[in-house]
Structure 1
Amino acid sequence: MNIVKSILMLFLAISISSCQLDVRPIGLNYEDMIFLDAENLAETGIGAAYDELVPSLSRYISNPIQIEERIDNHLPRYAIRANGKEYVVYDSDTPEYESWGIATYVFFEIINDQLKDKSVRLYAINNGHDLGAMYLTSEQAKSAQLLLPNPTDWPYLPEATSPWYGQHH
């Protein structure tokens, strides 16, 4: 019995080593990109952008949460309340140049918090006025990195860390 098992293992090893897997990186389908603008998000636009995104988010989750914008032009202060948390996008203590990155982080955090049990995340593409988003698996995001020579073009999950807010560089 051991001889038969050894022979089978040998044939298995030979057949596995002779197989060549043709694995090619897959690029991003920019036709699927959701166009955003970090400045618009920062200037009290997260609610409108979220409302526009809900139909695509509904493909992955059955009940997208409601979000509430809290805007006080007198302070000034802009915050988002979502899922029991309050995210301050800007207030009188926030340097204006940070608000775009913070707004990007907040927007993607609210979406990806809802996708935490799914295989996809909403990845950011680019930043600033060119900010976009795509639903990708981590494998798709890594595959895109193999094809895109410039790290700033790679899909990323925004973070709450200045100055890059998670964007590769």
Structure 2
Amino acid sequence: MKRLVDLLKSLWGVSQPASPPVSVNPLDYEQLVTLDAESLAEQGILTSYSELLPRLKEYSAAPLKVTEVQSNDGLGYTVEAGGRQFVIWEVLESGKQNNDGWERATVAFFQIVNASLEASTYHFYAINGGNDLFGMFLTEQEFIAARQAIARRSDWPWLPDDRLPHYGFPVEDA
């Protein structure tokens, strides 16, 4: 009977209301790694990296060795890995400390992890930022699918970098 009713409706130009498309977020939030940019910037990069190592070793056979260097005055904080040096906190010519340590720490952490993943099909992407910073291992296909499925750019996975003013964060108006 339903088929007959549907046939009659189609003949008279009455169609079924289209069901709205269902947006399915392809990210598995159970796989999030909690980070927090403030903790990273407060001499926490090595600790966070050490805690991540067991998971990182699932994707990389040769994770980089990370060392931290703190200045005697307590105002400088630098991280070294893979022959690179990442300055998180420094005293500027003005005698004041830089004010972008959270951003620098985020960039350093993700660049170090991703340098460890050089031979892998996975990258370590940031989710959110600041105190709500998380990380997630994704393939390029998973990354692309997430960006296509997630409407708000600021919710997209992203790769932190040195580009000012947003350090790679996907802002809404970009």
What is the TM-score of this pair, normalised by structure 1? 0.81
1:162 shift after superposition: 2.3
Whole-angstrom CA distance in 2 between matches of 1:140 and 1:35:
19
Whole-angstrom CA distance in 1 between matches of 2:145 and 2:133:
20
1:73 shift after superposition: 4.9
Q: Does 1:161 align with 2:146?
A: no
Whole-angstrom CA distance in 1 between matches of 2:147 and 2:38:
26
Give the total of aligned pairs. 145
Secondary structure of the residue aligned to 2:164 is coil
1:83 shift after superposition: 1.3
- Maintained 8 Å contact 1:25/1:146: no
2:107 to 88, 105, 108: 105
What does residue 9 of structure 1 align with?
A: none
Percentage identity across paired residues of the two chains: 36
| Structure number having the greater helix percentage | 1
Letter in 1 for 2:145: S
Q: Which runs of 5+ in 2 are unaligned?
A: 1-22
For structure 1, which segment, 65-74 or 131-140, has the greater mean C-alpha deviation from structure 2 after superposition? Answer: 65-74
What does residue 130 of structure 1 align with?
A: 132
Secondary structure of the residue aligned to 2:87 is strand
What does residue 95 of structure 1 align with?
A: 98
Secondary structure of the residue aligned to 1:61 is coil
Secondary structure of the residue aligned to 2:43 is helix
Letter in 2 for 1:57: L
- Maintained 8 Å contact 2:62/2:116: no
Q: Which runs of 5+ in 1 are unaligned?
A: 1-23
Whole-angstrom CA distance in 2 between matches of 1:154 and 1:26:
10
Secondary structure of the residue aligned to 1:155 is coil
Letter in 2 for 1:168: P
Cα distance change on mapping 1:40 and 1:73 into 2, 3 Å: farther
Structure 1 segments, 4+ long, off by >4 Å, are none
Whole-angstrom CA distance in 1 between matches of 2:164 and 2:88:
13
Q: What does the per-residue CA deviation read over 1:27-84, in whole Å, with 9 as the maximum and x for residues that have no partner? A: 1111100001001101111010000000001001223222110011506110001112
What does residue 16 of structure 1 align with?
A: none
Whole-angstrom CA distance in 2 between matches of 1:162 and 1:101:
10
- Maintained 8 Å contact 2:124/2:137: yes
What does residue 146 of structure 1 align with?
A: 148
Superposed CA RMSD:
1.6
What is the TM-score of this pair, normalised by structure 2? 0.78
Whole-angstrom CA distance in 2 between matches of 1:26 and 1:118:
24
1:134 shift after superposition: 0.3
Q: What does the per-residue CA deviation read over 1:99-152, in whole Å, with 9 as the maximum and x for residues that have no partner? A: 111100000000101112211100000000000000001111111112211101
Secondary structure of the residue aligned to 1:80 is strand
